[in-house]
Structure 1
Amino acid sequence: MGLFDFLKGNGKKVFGNDAEASEKIREEIERDNPGVKDLSVTYDQGVVTLAGTADSPDAMEKAVLMAGNIQGVAEVKVDQFSAPPQTVDVEFYVIEKGDSLSAIAKNFYGDGGAYSRIFEANREVIKDPNLIYPGQKIRIPKSAV
């Protein structure tokens, strides 16, 4: 894992100009810290590079999604980010127009009522299960909970 692609024009607006982007993105991740230490963020023309240490592979993935789902970010690199190896099978999904967490759960798990599983896996990325937007990238855990 080294590079994640995102839709640059979509997402939460957290910075107004490139000069403040690195600090604002770092603050956004640290606000709901998913389990990262010594976080360093650099932003250059739509590319975010994260460095630091994650307590778990989930924590690193959540930090990447938190950075990537910010308006103005097209790519996230994690070559300088260390985390234990992933032991749970996780798929990434880009939300499409008309999607809901229950529809996504029905598609992946065969049960729309399992939407809370997706919400919990993305709690730092999705603040309200009823407020998702097209282009937002989320994690879909595939193993049993």
Structure 2
Amino acid sequence: MDLFNFAKNIGKKLFGNGDSGAADKIKAHVLEDNPGVNNLEVTFDDGVATLSGDCADQAAREKAILLAGNVEGVERVDGDALKVPAGVQVEEVTYYEIQKGDTLWKVATEFYGNGSKYTAIFEANREVIKNPDLIYPGQKIRIPK
């Protein structure tokens, strides 16, 4: 099972406790900046978002999972049913959880040895990070190798 864990009480607030439309709101959130997913379906139960659909590539799959997981109230994301076409090249990435005091410059310095490469991190997460100056502790992002 491909389950990603997230901080349940941190993230973009889309719905309240017991909101029967939570799955639809998560789906709309992912599709708002669609990273390349067709036929997206979302279910949400007890803090777990389950996503299915057809992804253009591995990056689209990862971004859809991160978009859903960086929502307040989502504790885990199951992306097993997000399909990537066979033969599509897989980009090697590391997942990173933003810590208090982090900036993308600081993260780029840690991973690349050069803070000015923060733009590569921002571009790899453009759908997940709207503004490179507005990241928050607990947010998960992709770091390309």
TM-score band w.r.t. shorter chain:
over 0.9
Question: Residues 1-145 of structure 1: matches in 2 within 5 Å?
Answer: 2-16=2-16, 17-84=18-85, 87-142=90-145
Give the number of equivalent residue pairs. Answer: 142
SS of 2:21's equivalent? helix
Q: Retained in 1: the 8 A contact 2:58–2:91?
A: no
C-alpha distance in 2 between matches for 1:129 and 1:86: 27
C-alpha distance in 2 between matches for 1:87 and 1:71: 29
Amino acid at match of 2:13: K
C-alpha distance in 2 between matches for 1:89 and 1:49: 23
C-alpha distance in 2 between matches for 1:46 and 1:76: 9
TM-score when scaled to structure 1? Answer: 0.95
**Percent of aligned pairs with the same residue?**
55
Amino acid at match of 1:94: E
- Deviation, structure 1 residue 86: 5.4
C-alpha distance in 2 between matches for 1:18 and 1:83: 31
* Unmatched runs of 5 consecutive residues or more in structure 2: none
What RMSD, in angstroms, separates the aligned Cα atoms of the two structures? 1.1
TM-score when scaled to structure 2? Answer: 0.95
Q: Retained in 2: the 8 A contact 1:18–1:45?
A: no
SS of 2:59's equivalent? helix
Distance 1:86 1:97, change over 3 A: farther
Once the two structures are overlaid, the 10-residue window that deviates more, 36-45 or 15-24, is 15-24
Once the two structures are overlaid, the 10-residue window that deviates more, 80-89 or 55-64, is 80-89
Amino acid at match of 1:33: N
- Deviation, structure 1 residue 111: 0.4
- Runs of 4+ with deviation above 6 angstroms: none
